[in-house]
Chain A
Amino acid sequence: DDIVIGASLSLTGVQAPLDEPGLKGAEVAVKYLNDNGGILGQQVKLINIDGKSDPITVGNNTIQLLNNGAELIIAPCDFDFGGPASREAQSAGFVGISTCASDPLYSSWSLGDKQFTLSMWNTAMGATAAEFAYKDKDWKTAYVVTDQFLAYTKSLSRYFVQHYKDIGGEVLAEDSYTQGDQDFSAQLARLQALPEQPDVIFISSYMPDLGTIIRAIREVGITAPIVGGDSYDDPSLIESLGGKFGNDIYFVTHTWMGSEAHPKMEEFIELYKAYHGAEPDTSFVATGWDTVMMMAQGVEAAGSVEGAAVALALEEGQFDLLTGNLDYSDAASGHMPTKAAAVVELQGGEPAFVGWKTAESQPAP
């Protein structure tokens, strides 16, 4: 009798670019587990039903999965899409883990005492970016651009600004942008009109607009360093900037696909290549692997798949993951992940690993 892991990751729609790599990584992990004796001696089966980037479909799918015997749930990578999956898992009494939801709302407060996210929260992501800029690089003034259309981009900016000010930085101006506008010239004009040019530019946006904005900034000859979050960790951004515009860009993300980040990374990449027949094209694949491996450790520690026991094991355990060391607080304090973030820099169009970094403090959610 197998242990069934249910997932409702989206393979179609806006959410697919984030969910699909996670699924691929998870598949590799399941294969690895099964080749090495499974969990608690049982074989593991992963069933994914396309969530179609629709929260309602995700909810329906999760109910269907639970109905078909799933006892662990992988939730999609966002509070909006992952929430419904976690809520259903919670009401069925099972553990649900989102692969990369970074909104602090993804907590046991709002979803229940058996729900987790593998990702660091935006509080940590924003704070890490702020500390990296202010402390490591000594950039004292910042200009912040926020894409207004997404919850993720808005909250990331908010925590960056809050923490950057807290530790002594000065935000010269904040500007906003609407996803899909493809026109950044007014914001540029305002930036250029500032009496004093900023040391660093923090941009919270998404592809493909993120590429448009960075290119526009670089095209007019502004060379100030640009800092951002994990939405920069997208090969299409790096490709679209190329060697010409891909300079002095730093971002905080989940991991780095090389042995500098984790000794086991090489092995994972080999397994991934064997399974999918191609190199992973984004580091988000590691979140899928980590989710499954962490589930496995939790279940082994709890000795069963029973929700409360596994949740307790996850709260108590400390996990050494491809995406950094992870430690959860207890349910009463929200299952807040304390996690190291990877900082990556882009020079001449080539990404390079800067190092792991954990913010010294982070704003309250």
Chain B
Amino acid sequence: MGFYIQYVVDALSLGSLYALMALGLVIVYGILKLVNFAYGELIMITGYTLFLLGGGPLPWLVMAMVAVLMAVLGGILTEYTAFRPVRSKSVTAVLITSFALSTLLQNAALLFISPRARTVPLPDIFTQTVRFAGATIPLRNLITIAVAVVMLALFSWLMRRTILGLAMRAAATKFTMARMLGIPANLVITSAFAISGLLAGVAGLLWLGRIGSVVPGIGGEPLLIAFIATVIGGMRSLPGAVLGGYLLALIVTTLNYALPPDLLKFKDAFTFSLVILILLWRPDGLLRGPATGQRT
């Protein structure tokens, strides 16, 4: 019993984390059709902000808020430097600029901070555990699930019920036409990046809560996860990204629990083969998203 509860909570909390990260990526990737390789560096920014503020007089919650704010600013910065100048001209060019930006930020961290891991301040609640029906569950996992639920609800309201979501999609597909309808297209696209930064910041806090320290390369893994979750869930669909996040977590957790240790090292090969299979079965991902308006 305890084993199963443990398994379920693990899968759910990991899934929540993945879903948040995927959502932040998909808002840029799915809506604006731009792959933001510098997305992981937003998490890095969150981490280093926390580290730099650590030991200071601020209460943790304030530090966390500042850190998330920095990620939001980072998102906006990404847009200004890497996307605005090249957007809609060439998908590959955007990919490379965002990658360049990602190297740039990582090396800046290396140059100005340190190549070594730096410990970030964390509140006690992140390291406490609860016992429940024979399972020991870190509180952090429960917090992750709760935060994800709140964020996802907030976010789906924002995208569905407000005109901002529509305006974003419009501005992304036909920039000039959107402006001709009075939509401040630049601002709208910037806000997509800001939201992406917000999600990265929040996901980053939770991610850091697991690791406890930050290194310049910390963004690589979350980026990869978000990327894959987005893809299996459905590249153009926001609920798809969430589903993809949970599914990926389920796969990873299950493999982690089920594979014997000598096969466990091939876990990544299994995971990615599964991803390939899913894509072959459904090239557009599990949830198709809004039907495309393509026709002859």
Contacts and interface: CB of A to CB of B under 8 A. Distances in A.
Query: Are A and B bound to each other?
Result: yes
B191 interface: no
Contacts of B289: none
A246 B115 CA distance: 23
Contacts of A239: 119, 213
Nearest to B138: A219
Contacts of A54: none
Given A189-B7, A236-B117, A211 B217 contact: no
A12 B115 CA distance: 7
22 contacts: A13-B110, A16-B116, A148-B264, A174-B261, A176-B262, A176-B264, A178-B265, A181-B221, A182-B210, A182-B221, A183-B210, A183-B252, A185-B256, A187-B256, A208-B218, A211-B117, A215-B127, A215-B212, A219-B138, A221-B136, A234-B116, A236-B117
Contacts of B136: 192, 220-221
Main secondary structure of the interface of A (DSSP, over half): helix
Nearest to B262: A176
Contacts of B110: 12-13, 16
A244 interface: yes
B14 interface: yes
Most B-side CB within 10 Å, residue of A189, A192, A237: A189
A193 B136 CA distance: 12
A178 B268 contact: yes
A57 interface: no
Contact of B261 (A175, A185, A189): A175
Interface of B: 3, 6-7, 10, 14, 107, 110, 115-119, 127-129, 136, 138, 207, 210-215, 217-218, 220-221, 252-253, 256-257, 261-262, 264-265, 267-268
A212 B6 contact: no
Contacts of B210: 182-183, 212
A137 to B, nearest CB: 25
Given A207-B213, A211-B211, A186 B253 contact: yes
Contacts of A209: 211
Given A176-B261, A176-B264, A240-B213, A219 B127 contact: yes
Contact of B115 (A13, A208, A216): A13
Contacts of A20: 115
Nearest to A175: B261
A208 B214 CA distance: 8
Contacts of B128: 219
B231 to A, nearest CB: 19
A351 to B, nearest CB: 15
B15 to A, nearest CB: 11
Contacts of B10: 183, 185-186
Contact of B207 (A174, A182, A193, A216): A182
A69 interface: no
Nearest to A281: B116
A189 B213 contact: no
Nearest to A189: B6
Contacts of A207: 116-117, 213, 215
Given A178-B268, A186-B256, A212-B210, A234 B117 contact: yes
Contacts of A16: 110, 115-116
Contact of B217 (A14, A173, A186, A216): A14
A27 B118 CA distance: 25
A152 B70 CA distance: 36
A20 B116 CA distance: 10
A17 B207 contact: no
Contacts of A148: 264-265
Given A17-B115, A236-B213, A186 B127 contact: no
A176 B6 CA distance: 19
Across the A-B interface, give the 10 residue pairs with the lowest CB-CB distance, nearest first: A186-B256, A16-B115, A236-B117, A239-B119, A148-B265, A220-B136, A240-B119, A240-B212, A180-B221, A208-B117
